[in-house]
Amino acid sequence: MAAVVAGLLGGAAGITPRQVVLQLADWLPLVSADAGLTPVEQNLLLELRLPRVLLGAVVGGLLALAGAAYQGVFRNPLADPYLLGAAAGAGLTTTAAIVFLEGNDVSLVIPVAAFTGAVGGVLLAYALGNVAGRGGGTATLVLAGVAVSSFFTAGQTFVQQLGVDELERIYAWMLGDVGGGWEKLTLVAPYAAVSAGVLLLHGRVLDVLSVGDDEAASLGLHAARARLAVLLAASLATAAAVAVSGLIGFVGIVVPHVVRRLAGGSYRVVLPLSLLGGAAFLVLADVIARTALAPAELPIGVVTAFVGAPFFVAVLRMTRQGTA
């Protein structure tokens, strides 16, 4: 809640914190408060800042929740929401949409293209992993994801060369953005609700999987089936986030790791706290992106990379030392 309030207060429009609080109170039922805002300022707060903060919270929560789920499935604190080719698939289809489609309708097609590519990349990686290793082991899935990502990235590079004039738009999408108004929030809401609900219900399952497949089977859990359910839900969450925000890195590594350090390793605790922590983290990152160079704006992916890259190195070092 503190992050949401900070997101509503931050900006270059010159609206004071007092005016923001009074205007929010005025929108409550049976409450009347005069914030002294002009209609333009009220519209800015309601149509730009509020949906941007909420979308940032949803995207950040989904990425952190997916990251925690992947780390539980693969029993690896370095696992990332983009591990199984979701980012590369979304990058390829989005780049193709920007390059080959013309007109104003491209902005409407991009979320659909990104979502389709992300889901397609994950399904292809999973199918390839099952063909290459019949047991569907985690190591095989990771290697399949790397292969699929490399192939899609090469395809994206090729498509970019066919549309050099659109490189600015392509890179703007790749660096991430949580703007776009209520339309994007409405688009992502059902997928967010389904994927988050499934993952939160699998906290106990991930705790069992963390002890190994053989031990899980002895406890009556079908490990391969449970892993598939969690992977599909985490991939759906990742695809939904990518579709509306572009590629925003490191949220799925930073937040779950901090949660585990503070609250322990049980995924019944890690998953819901990662959802909340990811929402707060990305909202605050967006505040920095909007205000650091105001009135200019940094891509939010740059802010998360500044925080996440050194954090990733620290996690890698602790993992090698056996302390992560």
Q: How confident is the model at residue 200 (pLDDT cuts 50, 70, 90)?
A: very high
Which pLDDT score, from 0 to 100, does residue 133 have?
65
What is the average pLDDT value for the chain, to the nearest integer? 86
Higher pLDDT, 102 or 203: 203
Q: CB-based contacts of 190: which residues, under 8 Å, 6+ apart? A: none
Rounded distance between C-alpha atoms, residue 312 and residue 314, angstroms: 5
User: Are 279 and 57 contacting, i.e. CB atoms less than 8 angstroms apart?
Assistant: yes
Amino acid at the residue 104? N
- Are the C-beta atoms of residues 34 and 316 closer than 8 Å to each other? no
Count: domains in the chain: 1
Average pLDDT over residues 180-191: 89
- pTM score: 0.88
How many residues does the structure list for the chain? Answer: 324
- The DSSP-derived string for 286-305 is HHHHHHTTTTS---HHHHHH
pLDDT bracket for residue 201 (50, 70, 90): very high
Q: What is the mean pLDDT of residues 219-242?
A: 88
Write down the pLDDT at residue 127. Answer: 87
Q: What is the pLDDT of residues 86-128, one digit of tens each?
A: 889 999 999 998 888 876 567 778 888 889 999 899 889 888 8
Q: 294 is in which domain, residue-wise?
A: 2-178+187-321
> Which residues, 6+ apart, have CB-to-CB distance to 95 below 8 Å?
156, 159, 160, 163, 170
CA distance 184 to 248: 16
Q: Could you tell me which residues come within 8 angstroms of residue 283 by beta carbon, excluding any fewer than 6 positions away?
A: 3, 4, 6, 7, 53, 56, 57, 60
* pLDDT given for residue 136 in this prediction: 52
Q: How far apart are CA 95 and CA 97, in angstroms?
A: 5
Q: What CA–CA distances, in Å, run from 262 to 29, 63, 258?
A: 38, 19, 6
259-317 residue pLDDT tens: 999 999 899 999 999 999 999 999 999 999 988 887 788 889 999 999 888 887 887 77
pLDDT by residue (tens digit) across 18-44? 888 888 788 788 778 887 788 888 888
CATH number, position 86: 1.10.3470.10
Dmax over CA atoms of the chain, in Å, equals 66
At position 53, the amino acid (one-letter code) is: V
